[in-house]
A = this chain, B = another copy of it.
């Protein structure tokens, strides 16, 4: 962006590190970021807690300010402030919106309706599959998928959102120039190019434990609703769901096996009033949104399958656990052909093997 005096004033305020509430008190009184900086220390003390006001008495660390301004100078980098016309309306509804935040990517995504998908970092493959499928379907229906760029469900949700026009927003808990975890660097770059990455922390801010729960209020705040996919009882996504409910957002959860620790978080939410959903359409119905066309490419076409008998096997398999003998009877193929096809399909994650030599389809449509 072109860093003008206004942007620099906001960067200075942001670096001072006041609590949002104190900064809002000063902004209301002095009208603008520059107005707050131009006021005298005594004036500021009259309108904010003295400890907070004192943070503005000294100039920000020169190196941090320089680094922040340098980051902002880069193309596609932005600072979005409270008095900016592009500041998301959804965040103005929450109890403690950030007075200013950094953004990299398609700022226009802040205007559209958002939908959050969150869950455990170490989710199961099926959980990630589900998160991605729900995200793709909701993105195709016009909802920008908001999540926290963590591993597991968050990353899968972003990937699904990026597959369609409404794309995805990552709210991160580090400075906008620091990606954590590093494993998600490629995904962060894709989000910065085709989606949006935002942070209320200044460039250079490292991963600090206390900053991650804080960003959860923005994940839910930017969203009309929150879907929890695979969360343990200690998952941070339960915090996001609680914040969402406090913010008046709809909370949705996927059910799962009573034996999986990754289902327990969702089940607790459902018992506490969250809506149990089985499909993306369930969410769209609840949010009173018309059905969108099914996303293209959500299920692999039979022509893509590696094994020539794969299509017949998938049709014969259905959703019930089925053994090889039954598949032989249903398809007319030899047992070895059936087993070869099942092995190929398992590698493609189209089928799963079950106890007792039985097999089941894995569904990808949400």
Contacts and interface: CB of A to CB of B under 8 A. Distances in A.
Interface of A: 122, 124-126, 130, 254-261, 263-264, 267, 270-271, 275-279, 319-321, 346, 349, 351-356, 361-363
A131 to B, nearest CB: 12
Given A256-B258, A258-B279, A351-B355, 6 more contacts: A125-B356, A255-B257, A257-B257, A258-B278, A259-B319, A352-B354
Number of copies of this protein chain within its complex: 2
Given A256-B257, A258-B130, A351-B355, A124 B267 contact: no
Given A125-B321, A355-B349, A362-B355, A255 B267 contact: yes
A275 B271 CA distance: 7
Nearest to A277: B258
Given A256-B256, A256-B257, A278-B258, A321 B124 contact: yes
The 4 closest A-B pairs by CB, nearest first: A255-B255, A259-B363, A258-B278, A352-B355
For A259, A321, A349, A356, the residue with the greatest tally of chain B CB atoms inside 10 Å of its CB is A259
Contacts of A361: 259
Contact of A278 (B264, B276, B346, B349): B264
A198 B276 CA distance: 37
B278 A255 contact: no
Nearest to A229: B258
Given A258-B278, A267-B276, A122 B320 contact: yes
B355 A355 contact: no
Nearest to A354: B352
Nearest to A352: B355
A16 B125 CA distance: 61
Contacts of A122: 320
Contacts of A278: 258, 264, 267
Given A125-B355, A349-B356, A351-B355, A319 B279 contact: no
Contacts of A256: 255-258
Nearest to A255: B255
Nearest to A279: B258
Contacts of A271: 275-276
Contact of A346 (B258, B352, B355, B362): B355
Given A122-B320, A355-B346, A355-B352, A263 B255 contact: yes
26 contacts: A125-B321, A125-B354, A125-B355, A125-B356, A254-B258, A255-B255, A255-B256, A255-B258, A255-B263, A255-B270, A255-B276, A256-B256, A256-B258, A257-B257, A258-B277, A258-B278, A259-B363, A261-B320, A267-B278, A270-B270, A270-B276, A276-B276, A349-B355, A353-B354, A353-B355, A355-B362
